[in-house]
Amino acid sequence: MSLPLPVDPELAPWLSLLPTLDVGDAAAARATVEAMGAAAPPFTLPEGVELSEHRVPGAVGAPEVPVAVFRPEGAGTALPAVLYVHGGGFILEEGDGDRALAARWAAELGAVVVSVRYRLAPEHPYPAATDDCYAALEWLAANAAGLGVDPARIAVAGMSAGGGLAAALTLLARDRGGPLPCFQLLDIPELDDRLETPSMREFTDTPVWNRPNAVHSWRAYLGADRDPAAPVPAYAAPARAEDLAGLPPAYVAVSDLDPLRDEGLDYALRLVRAGVATEVHLFPGTFHGAAGFVPDTAVTRRMSEGALDALRRGLAVRSRPSPPEAV
């Protein structure tokens, strides 16, 4: 594998161990992800976090949407909340890795974290995933009191395709007059179906995610039978939105060696120009999903802690006091 830019030295030894994903073959890619999950340590809830499973009403004519709710035990009411949308190129689920991240956020933030299991492409093309995620957002807002959530402190957060879906949710909520989140976290987001940015053209063989996977991902999500001349709505590809004004404050993080890098940076700059308070981070020497595959390096710890700290600030969560030093 040839990389046009140097990978972080701590990440380099892991390159040969990373999975090879071809989402053009959805069944094979899902089998690879499932095998990785089976080989990983089993998911366990952090101490002090409780989990409940729910099925919430879907869009009109659509099935119910499964959600997992992670909540700090005995935390009381008026808690901040995060609607978390997993990645996977619109095609894959992340399984226990997804649950572990949501549970960690609940523990670290003292927040209710709702993880949505949306329908996947290519079996369910747009707008299935968007509809499912918006239904989960509406349910969270409508049931804030019963969940012990402060309705004024609900954020949306997503990674990769989930980042694109999270961005779409803020556009939908703004345009429909729905429950507008107070904050949006877009981590390595997949936003633009046009595949025309310099990084998308350049990174054809980068680890985990590359241009061929992006092509297959959008083809599956938009529908293989779609008329290529038909317009693509911004609720499918948020980079196409003409007006970004009135959206919630944002944190946008991108990876250096990722074909999605430039569309994330472009979207962040457009948010800034639209008057949206936006924090942007580019992590040098990292590839798509590096923090999930290799969590214990200096740069990937910065990636994970940066997202957590952004949520902490976006939700107005007080930092926990440091324990007293031993005498």
Of residues 160, 199, 217, 255, which has the active-site annotation? 160
Please write the tens of the pLDDT for every residue from 157-180: 999 999 999 999 999 999 999 999
Q: What's the confidence (pLDDT) of residue 319?
A: 63
Closest CA to 156 of 276, 310, 320, 282: 310
Q: Which of 193, 256, 258, 262 is catalytic?
A: 258
Run of H or E including 169: helix 161-176
**Cβ proximity of 184 and 167 under 8 Å:** yes
Q: What is the pTM of this model?
A: 0.95
- Ranges of residues in the chain whose predicted pLDDT is under 50: 1-3, 321-327
199 belongs to the catalytic site: no
Phi, psi of 108 (to 5 degrees): -75, -35
Residue with tokens 């949308």: 85
Q: Is 288 a catalytic residue?
A: yes
Give the per-residue pLDDT at 324. 44
User: CA 74 to CA 213: how far, in whole Å?
Assistant: 43
> Pairing relation of β-strands 183-187 and 112-116?
unpaired
- Helix H, strand E, coil C: the string for 231-299 is CCCCCCCHHHCCCCCCCCCEEEEEEEECCCHHHHHHHHHHHHHCCCCEEEEEEEEEECCHHHHCCCCHH
258 noted as active-site residue: yes
pLDDT at 3: 45
Residue 191 sits at φ, ψ, to 5 deg, of -125, -20
Tell how many helices (H) and how many strands (E) occur in the chain: 10, 8
d(CA 209, CA 98): 18
